[in-house]
Structure 1
Amino acid sequence: MDRTAWLCVVLATGVLCLSLAPACGAHDHDEDVLDDDLDLDLEGGDEELEHDHDAPAPPKTPPTPTVTYKAPEPMGEHYFAESFDRGTLDSWVLSSAKKDDTDEDIAKYDGKWEVEEMKDSKLPGDKGLVLKSRAKHHAISALLLRPFTFDTMPLIVQYEVNFQAGIDCGGAYVKLLTQAPELDLSQFVDKTSYTIMFGPDKCGEDYKLHFIFRHKNPKTGQYEEKHAKKPDADLRTYYTDKKTHLYTLVLNPDNTFEILVDQTVVNSGNLLTDMTPPVNPPAEIEDPDDQKPEDWDERPKIQDPDATKPEDWDEDAPAQILDEDAVKPDGWLDDEPEYIGDPDAVKPEDWDEDMDGEWEAPQIPNPACEAAPGCGIWKRPTIENPDYKGKWKAPMIDNPNYQGVWKPRKIANPDFFEDQHPFRMSAISAVGLELWSMTSDIFFDNFLVTDDRNVAERWANDGWGLKKAAEGAAEPGLAAQMMNAAEERPWLWVVYVLTVALPLILIVVFCCTGKKKSEAPAAADYKKTDEPQPDVKGAEEEIKEETKEADKSSPDGECDGEGVQEEANDETPADEDDVEGDQEVEEKEASAEEKLEDDILRRSPRNRKVRKD
């Protein structure tokens, strides 16, 4: 194999290695994280197997790591923390109420809750709260360690959700219940007062991430829901990838808020400017008692009252008329119908004329009309009428009485108020889940309510971070993911082939099909043609040959100057013999060169010199 082929093989190998390097690096990174955060008990490493000394030892299977899960513990100030790893719902209260204005069959909150591990858990021992029923109302709640008062410290709400079976229509949001003397968790329903509602919700193709808070009107004392703007981020993946995701809400005393998914901000804003409807009502409103005057003219254009219809305007002229210049084509068959009954058709045997009527053969195009320009009665075609004008209408002009679009006048808003601190909401004393879902097995875990971001980040790393590392380590490699994706979507094979084959083909073409240096054609290969051809010999060789021929043509004893003749006369006989011997050798060499030259010139298409005898 030549060097070019080896180079092609090396480059192709490099392309494959570069394509697999990101996946290998990501896999190694997940393993490093997992090794740092998990305690692995390797079983089967210390057992000794007895084998015959002559028999080869079988290959050892690498031990399978067994993960020992450790429940997260809140480190710092917090108001509520629940990991469900005790396996019980001792601190939670199931609602036994019924929902108002609902059919009796589904009005009761009888949806089932269980504390269990995820179906495909990567952390044995990690338990969570699972919504088990579908098409039922679910309600469960728990009291905070102490009420949270919105004052000078931020509020941070954080919990995890995993849609193990996907989600068709249903929610996974949490409600922070308002502190009130009459609060009864066993009667927790949809109308129970809450201060904040936060979390994912989906129905159909509408993917939502709610943040709603109830604001109290300082003048009327009534509560009104304020909804955050819709996130710009695409939320579809969080509902469909069947992975555990961390949802975090941060409310700050300066009225700013942040919504994070997996510790990444997906929405943010200000309670004063980014809520719908606005917290503060407008200072002026339209007067509900103001009415538009009867003579108010809102027409910007009107018909010209002074315009008259021209005398030559014919409103009865038709839009289409017959073309009087048309002539019937030659060969038109007036006596032949355009369609005839199918002569090959046969009345069905089960045709009942009493029930079905008289049978008629189906109509087919008349074969006699195929070669003719047309059949049947010829009619003149219609054309547009050049005199058609239609119904006359007066032209439009500007309305001299135009007063613009009427609007009711503005008056002072009697309900106006200005609340510059909407963060100071009603205190909360409990956490609750009040849900309806058409999909079961929604997994909740690691609820936290705190006012310290460091506590929330530590809780997230000890809980959700552990799940993420375990799920990442358990994910298949790049090749396996590509194969699985191709099994679900066979058209991906075409993409794979093009992605791999095109670079290899380009490498082969680049390396193996380079231009070769063209060798000069032999003189015998030249064709006799009038086109200019390159010289057979180079310029230097021609000069040398001309010099040798000049030396041979001159007499042996003849010299150009007197000094040369004197030196020739002073030479001894021995020197003359040496000179004669050298001349003989030169003559032989010259004769051989002349023969070679004659041979080349004989084959050359042209001669630049006259051949010598």
Structure 2
Amino acid sequence: MKWAVLLATLVVAASAEVYLKETFDDSWADRWVKSKWKQSDGQAGDFKLSAGKWYGDAEADKGIQTGPDSKFFASYAPLDKVFDNTGKDTVLQFSVKHEQDLDCGGGYIKLVPASSEKQMESFGGETPYSIMFGPDICGYSTRKIHVILTYKGKNYLIKKDLKAETDQLSHVYTLVIKPDNTYKVYVDLKEVASGSLFEDWDMLPPKTIKDPKAKKPEDWDEREEIPDPEDKKPEGWDDIPATIADKTAKKPEDWDEEEDGTWEPPMIPNPEYKGEWKQKMIKNPDFKGIWVAPDIENPEYKHDDTLYNFKDLKYVGFELWQVKSGSIFDNIMVTDDFETAKAFAEETWGKSKDAEKEMMEKVKKEEDAKKAPPPAAAAASEEGEDDDDEYDDKEEPAATGSVEIPKDEEVKEEAAHDEL
């Protein structure tokens, strides 16, 4: 039995095809092209090879890192060959480490079709793509994983809210799209979402719509309650005044009627006043509910079993805007087999993640220690505070003038990382 399982595994592995496997070694720039997008106006940043400040392996964990701050970043590489996913799974996987504690910017990747080839020299936000996948972070309102699919020239965002990782460690993002029009999203090889392309995107119009010609019948009663016709207003109800004169009030001793006029006691709320009379409400025996137009088949709906299908995937690329740069992208794989991508992630990210976390904690601890004052300075500071006690009662001179504290520069989120 074990041999049968092993044989089946080898058969699956042998049948898998890898269209791109990128680990970013010293020759990465020979394979990747920097886009001319945003270069002419000085808004384009660069990618450089780096393992960052913390890592599990100084060489193996090198990736391409964004820099400097507040720039656009665009670079791409061709797949080993054009990927026609007809009848195949589509697996897109990469890792990203927001070492800088990203506050606003994209961290996603794109698969671009061969039909965009003439636009790739200036690959950017307007270049048509097929799949956009990965984290997007801006403040506390935007911390999500994008899964955007292109269908008939339009981009459609997944309707589910998928949470992105926001710490400063490397995380692996994996998207699987299957020819039965289902999908799965993994973060660190753990499934975080799955479902149907038909249900979780609005690529197709709804199968049914409300009949636009239907009209509510004239005798349709939508009142859930009605005034009780048996309930009558008690006699004398309207004769009870809302306020009455305060009988306990007494005219002030210094009241002069010639100068002040005739004294009248103040008015107070009448305890017998019950307010405006209203009939009590009862259930309406003729209530039919809120009228809703009946559903009819949508004449614009046409079923399509090829939502998953991209026949000419040719490039993989990053097109980003980041306020605070420093994200490191690594270990990209495009394949038609999830198990192959999983094994790649385990061999790369999986082997480094624990050591990376340990190193990050060590680096942060050392940085915190450098920020803290040395023991001698701290002791001197405390001693100085004691020496000042004898002057506590002395009057300090008043401060003159003012110091204006500059406001933080307003950061405007660019539309570059929400392209629908």
Same fold flag (TM > 0.5): yes
Residue number among 65, 78, 81 corresponding to 1:146 in the alignment: 81
Residue number among 146, 154, 166 corresponding to 1:239 in the alignment: 166
Corresponding residue for residue 94 of structure 1: 34
Percent identity, aligned pairs only? 36
Q: Does 1:254 align with 2:180?
A: yes
Q: Does 1:123 align with 2:57?
A: yes
Corresponding residue for residue 208 of structure 1: 144
Secondary structure of 2:101's counterpart equals coil
- String of CA shifts for 1:533-569, please: whole Å, max 9, x gaps: xxxxxxxxxxxxxxxxxxxxxxxxxxxxxxxxxxxxx
Measured in 2, the distance between the counterparts of 1:167 and 1:313 equals 69
Residue number among 277, 282, 287 corresponding to 2:211 in the alignment: 287
Measured in 1, the distance between the counterparts of 2:236 and 2:305 equals 74
Q: Does 1:268 align with 2:194?
A: yes
Q: Does 1:447 align with 2:374?
A: no
Q: Does 1:456 align with 2:341?
A: yes
- String of CA shifts for 1:351-406, please: whole Å, max 9, x gaps: xxxxxxxxxxxxxxxxxxxxxxxxxxxx9999763421222234445556655423
Change (3 A) 1:212 1:322: same
Tell me the CA shift for residue 144 of structure 1. 1.0
The TM-score, its normalising length taken from structure 1, stands at 0.48
Tell me the CA shift for residue 446 of structure 1. 1.6
Measured in 2, the distance between the counterparts of 1:123 and 1:209 equals 27
Q: Does 1:412 align with 2:297?
A: yes
Measured in 2, the distance between the counterparts of 1:111 and 1:270 equals 37
- String of CA shifts for 1:31-83, please: whole Å, max 9, x gaps: xxxxxxxxxxxxxxxxxxxxxxxxxxxxxxxxxxxxxxxxxxxx973111222
The TM-score, its normalising length taken from structure 2, stands at 0.68
Measured in 1, the distance between the counterparts of 2:220 and 2:358 equals 75
Change (3 A) 1:113 1:471: closer
Corresponding residue for residue 18 of structure 2: 78
Residue number among 181, 199, 221 corresponding to 2:134 in the alignment: 199
Equivalent pair of 1:155/1:252 in contact (CA under 8 Å) = yes
- What is the letter of the counterpart of residue 49 of structure 2? V
Measured in 2, the distance between the counterparts of 1:188 and 1:320 equals 82
Residue number among 103, 114, 124 corresponding to 1:168 in the alignment: 103
How is 1:290-369 mapped onto 2 (pairs within 5 angstroms)?
Answer: 290-292=214-216, 297-303=221-227, 309-314=233-238, 317-318=241-242, 322=246, 324=248
Measured in 2, the distance between the counterparts of 1:76 and 1:401 equals 66
- String of CA shifts for 1:321-353, please: whole Å, max 9, x gaps: 6364x99xxxxx999xxxxxxxxxxxxxxxxxx
Corresponding residue for residue 229 of structure 1: 160
Equivalent pair of 2:16/2:336 in contact (CA under 8 Å) = no
Measured in 1, the distance between the counterparts of 2:282 and 2:360 equals 74
Deviates more, 1:427-436 or 1:452-461: 452-461
Measured in 1, the distance between the counterparts of 2:361 and 2:124 equals 43
Measured in 2, the distance between the counterparts of 1:251 and 1:92 equals 25
Tell me the CA shift for residue 411 of structure 1. 3.0
Measured in 2, the distance between the counterparts of 1:304 and 1:76 equals 75
Equivalent pair of 2:50/2:63 in contact (CA under 8 Å) = yes
Equivalent pair of 2:181/2:198 in contact (CA under 8 Å) = yes
Secondary structure of 2:350's counterpart equals helix
Measured in 2, the distance between the counterparts of 1:307 and 1:124 equals 86
Equivalent pair of 2:116/2:127 in contact (CA under 8 Å) = no
Tell me the CA shift for residue 289 of structure 1. 4.4
- Give the unaligned 5+ runs of structure 2: 1-14, 255-263, 373-420
Structure number with larger C-alpha Rg: 1
- Which one has a larger percent helix, Structure 1 or Structure 2? 1
Equivalent pair of 1:151/1:253 in contact (CA under 8 Å) = yes
Measured in 1, the distance between the counterparts of 2:244 and 2:297 equals 63
Measured in 1, the distance between the counterparts of 2:342 and 2:360 equals 25
Change (3 A) 1:412 1:270: closer
The size of the alignment, in residue pairs, is 342
Measured in 1, the distance between the counterparts of 2:16 and 2:281 equals 78
Secondary structure of 1:184's counterpart equals helix
Corresponding residue for residue 372 of structure 1: none
Equivalent pair of 1:135/1:436 in contact (CA under 8 Å) = yes
Measured in 2, the distance between the counterparts of 1:476 and 1:424 equals 44
Deviates more, 1:246-255 or 1:162-171: 246-255
- What is the letter of the counterpart of residue 309 of structure 2? R
Tell me the CA shift for residue 165 of structure 1. 0.8
Secondary structure of 2:166's counterpart equals helix
- String of CA shifts for 1:270-329, please: whole Å, max 9, x gaps: 3344x143x5543321133445567755333344568654331135512576364x99xx
Change (3 A) 1:474 1:301: closer
Measured in 1, the distance between the counterparts of 2:317 and 2:75 equals 6
Tell me the CA shift for residue 418 of structure 1. 2.3
**Larger relative contact order, structure 1 or 2 (CA cutoff 8 Å, min sep 6):** 2
Measured in 1, the distance between the counterparts of 2:213 and 2:237 equals 51
Corresponding residue for residue 438 of structure 1: 323
- Which one has a larger percent strand, Structure 1 or Structure 2? 2
Change (3 A) 1:227 1:321: farther
- String of CA shifts for 1:129-181, please: whole Å, max 9, x gaps: 11113333222222111121222332221111111110111110111112316
Equivalent pair of 2:34/2:76 in contact (CA under 8 Å) = yes
Measured in 2, the distance between the counterparts of 1:257 and 1:159 equals 17
Q: In angstroms, what is the RMSD of aligned CA positions? A: 3.8
- String of CA shifts for 1:487-527, please: whole Å, max 9, x gaps: 9xxxxxxxxxxxxxxxxxxxxxxxxxxxxxxxxxxxxxxxx
Change (3 A) 1:460 1:389: closer
Equivalent pair of 1:109/1:139 in contact (CA under 8 Å) = no
Equivalent pair of 2:169/2:357 in contact (CA under 8 Å) = no
